[in-house]
Amino acid sequence: MDACLAKPCHTKATCSDNSAPALDATCTCYPGYIGDGLANGSGCSGVWLKRKSSWVVDSAGPPWVDNGVTHDATKALDGDQETFWNPIGAEKSNNDWYIVLDLTVPKTLTRIAVNNLGDTTHDIAAFKLLKSQDGLTWEHVVSVTDVETGTGRRQEFGGFEGTARYWRFVVTQTHSGWQPYLTELYLYGLLSGANVALGKTAFQTSYHSGTSGSVAVDGNTATDYFSGSCTHTEGEANPAWWVDLEQSYAVDRVVIFNRQDCCAERLNPFNIHIGDSPQLTTNPRCGGDIQIDVSQPAISVSCEDMKGRYVGVRLPGASRVLTLCEVQIVPDYPMMLKNLGCWEDQYDRAISMMEGTDPRLDGHSYLLRTDPIKKCYQVAKDRGYKVFAVQDSGQCFSSATAADTYRKYGPSTGCAEGEGGSWSNDVYEIIDA
């Protein structure tokens, strides 16, 4: 089967041919993305991040105080369009009104949205967004110069992608030159916590032309070597790359992005090692000699909860060259669930079925599936869903609207051992999402 040759998957998804007699493929969104993974479906995208006032660590000011209300930068993250950020104390046309956010962990952002107050005088006309890994050295990400005036509606802007822990939002122009009145600021990006390798210390056995092992964990999944985000060893026997995760994880899967501008075949075959020893080859292997479809930019390798602090990629054999454009390591999540009870189901499903939409849910033999609750939980959590259900001792159901629909047919008494029953759903709420 070569269903993946037809490229049915979104550009941010891996593709794997389903076993015969199936004639199709399974598309799985990269870690942090949600969606069905299909090129002609919902694809793979991020989410509008849940905002926290604690993100604000610095801002222009001081803030205006009126009737006991302090109009500081946290007002732009409070969800209340009746409040707004109002930095005072700067001259007209200062054009450097800023808010610094610490997201606590690196996050990849691809869109931003703002709400002006709509009074024209203090409405933002232009802004820029900068990022930093340490909160000290800043890198420009995007500039926006076409923010509308005289409206309080939400305005969204994209066309960029950046990964960092610290973000600096800078108002570079208002429509009158006076300070901005910003009611809300929103960030759109990838789900956090999915990739524990991001930003960690990485090593390799040799370095070609000044390349660095760290570029394989910088959040940039570009697969053109000349973009500057791919590793490259010298030609040698058994070249290897590995990352120190700083603590031991139960690894669910490893996603590897291969070079695509040329030489994609160099990666085959490769080994993945996972363990607590910094000596890579002393750690157990995840699988055997692994092959990637060279027409695909990435491969997702299931490691079934192998534990280790160090995860590495090694090419067995003489005169091999190892190039990795990104390595994402997805841990097994500790389940934090609330059981919502047992609920009846019918042919017109109360919750959408997820069988066959992810390699962890093969769809053919759910009755034989090990740890069905955990696997359904993992897939639902990866997609940003809050509620999922297990039926008939293993069948998995979830959707973005499951919290609203799971009670459609009323309660049931047919569930057993937390894994549902015939036409009965054991329903769970994910409380660590």
261, 140: one domain: no
Could you please report the per-residue DSSP string of 114-172? EEE-S-STT-EEEEEEEEESSSSS-EEEEEE--PPSS--SEEEE-S--EEEEEEEEEEE
136, 150: one domain: yes
229, 308: one domain: yes
Nearest-CA neighbor of 187 among 230, 164, 156, 148?
A: 156
In the chain, the number of structural domains is 4
Domain-located, residue 231: yes
**What pLDDT, on a 0 to 100 scale, did the predictor assign at position 193?**
46
- In whole angstroms, give the CA distance from residue 266 to residue 282: 24
**What pLDDT, on a 0 to 100 scale, did the predictor assign at position 171?**
97
Q: How far from 319 is each of 216, 233, 262, 266, 323, CA to CA, in Å?
A: 22, 11, 18, 10, 13
**Residue 146: partners with Cβ closer than 8 Å, 6 or more residues away:** 126
397, 421: one domain: yes
Domain-located, residue 195: no
CATH code for the domain in which residue 226 is found? 2.60.120.260
**What pLDDT, on a 0 to 100 scale, did the predictor assign at position 351?**
97
Domain-located, residue 194: no
Domain-located, residue 300: yes
304, 320: one domain: yes
CB neighbours of residue 152 within 10 Å:
16
Domain-located, residue 153: yes
Low-confidence ranges of the chain (pLDDT < 50): 192-193, 433
273, 369: one domain: no
Which of 309, 331, 353 terminates a domain? The answer is 331
CATH code for the domain in which residue 24 is found? 2.10.25
**What pLDDT, on a 0 to 100 scale, did the predictor assign at position 43?**
76
Domain-located, residue 224: yes
Which of 331, 349, 365 terminates a domain? The answer is 331
Prior bond of 87 cis (ω within 30°): no
Which of 140, 168, 189 terminates a domain? The answer is 189
232, 319: one domain: yes
Domain-located, residue 196: no
Q: How far from 33 is each of 44, 109, 337, 381, CA to CA, in Å?
A: 5, 12, 22, 11
295, 363: one domain: no
**What does the pLDDT look like over 152-196, one tens digit per residue?**
999 999 888 787 789 999 999 999 999 999 999 999 886 544 688
Could you please report the per-residue DSSP string of 211-260? --GGGGGSS-----GGGT----PPSBSS-EEEEEEEEEEEEEEEEEEPP-
225, 308: one domain: yes
230, 323: one domain: yes
Structure-block tokens of residue 428: 């769970």
34, 60: one domain: no
Q: Residue 381 in 3-state DSSP? A: helix
Residue 119 lies in domain: 53-189
**What does the pLDDT look like over 332-362, one tens digit per residue?**
655 667 788 899 999 999 999 999 888 888 7
**What pLDDT, on a 0 to 100 scale, did the predictor assign at position 405?**
96
59, 40: one domain: no
